[in-house]
Structure 1
Amino acid sequence: MAQPKSNEIVVIGAGIIGVTAALALQAEGLTVRIVDREGVAAETSFGNAGAFAFPEIEPLATPGIMRKAPKWLLDPLGPLSIPPAYALRIAPWMLRFWRASRKDRYVAAVQAQSDLMRLSQAALERLIARVDGEPFMRREGQLQLYEGEASFKASLPSWEERRRHGIAFDLLDSRDAIADIQPGLDCRFTHAGFTPGWINTVDPARWTDHLAGRFTAAGGAIETMDVRALRPVEGGVEVETGRGVLHAGQVVVAAGAWSHRLAATLGERIPLETERGYNTTFPQAGFDLRTHLTFSDHGFVVTRIGEGLRVGGAVELGGLSLPPNYRRADVLVRKAARFLNGFEPTSGTRWMGFRPSLPDSLPVIGRSSAADRVIYAFGHGHLGLTQSAGTAELVAALAAGRPPAVTVTAFDPGRF
């Protein structure tokens, strides 16, 4: 195995964050190598909902959310749950989550998320132009649906928050107005919010593969190997893998839900947890889906993937080791069959992905305090695809020694 030169940058992770960061680093004129234990888009970037959800600026840790915690334990199939077998282990993370839901921290998190979203939206357009990516995009907006006036009114503070941060949307209060955008919905959905700036990719795995192809065509290398530890050395970093030691000038850790394990080899404890998300993909749509649908009261979405449909969502805070509970995916499909008139789900493929999540719903983007030649880029929760291009530009600026386009203090790895 050829050894990277000491001035090379090794990016650990070939998901959407790692691949997009590698492309941005390459655009800086740097020599870059990606390593991943499975390969390009083999983990969470393979099967997510495919949404660039730029209007989603609210963190999961909202004021008052901890009052709902007991119900999470009692409903294993609800929109947000904690398996009882994992409850004790996640208790320290939940304490930090509660602290992050305080009003002052919530306001700061919304501002930081909004800044990163604006950068990511502009960065995505730059990336699309650079890699001829328009054929991989769907610009059809998103319809967020509510059952009844009470549910809709409860959502209005969130919409007002979006308005304050310059996000365009239309609020709809009639079934006819909803049907003009998406016909065929069950009559229970009486109100909605439509965000026209929402973008989807035709397939998140295909988009990541396309970017990886551009990276290798420009001279970048992608290798499959398991990274076990990082060690700072004079002038660089040693990367211990199952196939030997790599020597890099700098390292970018973008290994998703496994990233904290690498940080731990440097002596850093970063409270990364896993939002386990479930979905089912149907190869043929069977329903004329015209926009990304978000069923707000039920915690799931329906989106087009290729020529088919993907039904998925919900959050299960269950770590990396527990076996999947595919009943969660089945519950969502049964609901989708009730909500979409004429949709008959057959021949679906179930899937579970690990979303890397930090207590304040903000990613870690910045240099390790234990090794200044290691840059972290992980913890985006369910917004990894959405924030990939913006994160990549921030990583490239840090690696090149330039000031980043937005302040990264809120994303600092040492904030915990």
Structure 2
Amino acid sequence: MFFCGHDGTITIQEQDPADHDARLGSQLGDYVVVARVADGAMGRVYEGRHLETKQQVAVKVLHEDVARDQVAVERFKREYETAEELDHPNVVDVIDFGETGDGSWFMTMEYLSGTELTGLLEDEGAIAPHRMVRIFCQLAAALDHAHSWGFIHRDLKPDNVFLVAGEEGDVVKVLDFGSVKLQMETGPKLTAFGTTLGSPYYMSPEQAMGKLDVDQRTDVFAAAAIAWEMATGKVAFEGQNVAQILMRIVNEDPPPPSSMSPKYPAAFDDVVLGGLRKDKTQRPGSVGELADRVVKSFGLDGDHGKWAAASLEEVARALSVTTPPEPAPLAPAAPAPTAPAAAPTAPSAPTEDTRRATEPIGMHASEIHGGSKGPGVGLIVGIAVAALLVGGALAYFFLR
């Protein structure tokens, strides 16, 4: 099975004859379009082949209506230019960029085989520590490299972490630098009104509150949220709507990962929760520093670069030596005296129907309002705070 290196969608080789695509068989730059892969909000992704070398590539073409939006085109160009400048083994490799004959724009990039981290989490839930360590160290290597060039990703999430199946284990490829921000940026803002926000689960508190002075520590927060999710199989900040998620990001701390996944040491809890501090000045200064602390929390020597380059087998072997065995279960306690029968209690509230982090966020009024019951004082205050947070987040994305 093949997946697009841009957004992780499964390749569709069969074409519906009734759904004719005029681009099939056409030439874009030095590439011929041979099959349609998938559609996205911004454009359509194709499989392409180089005219001479027959190299297989992924080709993304902006939709016609998107191509008429100058802001969207500039962001598309920035995505290409950023990935081209970074040139890192853990960043998706872009190849070419140009204008189509009908006024749209296209980008070619390496064609990857594997799955996005979101798919792995959906299939397996919590990820084994040795695999998590190796993935996270590669992610840190990519982000530290981007930060060294002055680029802040700002939209880091499992959807944008692609895992290529390699001989020695997963090879991480960070995707989608369309939301990237240059540190000390003073040029025009590249977000138009009406742009979809995407998932809020990995937004930092400063993003959730609409602050514009974000730096690499925003990516540190998102990376820590991803590490928490890899350890537990769940998102760190759950919620039934955007407002609830943002309120929890700003006001609440998730439980220690080891309380849900005993294979993870308590030292790992301290590291990840440190990366999720509300005050960015209290977080590690870089994702690499966070990854170094993750490595040490498992008792491993060296830094994240060492374990990013190690094979999955080597990491597993090292962890088998450093990780203490799980404690034996405690002897059962003596039964407590039987208490008098209590009056029946009301049924507990239903559990939250938590949405996956891959789902897009639509800014509809129904998403920030409660049920049909009359609002109490607490609910009124909650809605007021939620409105401020959602407004701040919208301001952040519309002004960034």
- TM class, shorter-length: under 0.3
| Alignment TM-score, normalising by the size of structure 1 | 0.21
Bigger radius of gyration, 1 or 2?
2
| Alignment TM-score, normalising by the size of structure 2 | 0.22
Ranked by relative contact order (alpha carbons within 8 Å, sequence separation 6 or more), the top structure is: 1
Greater fraction of residues in strand: 1
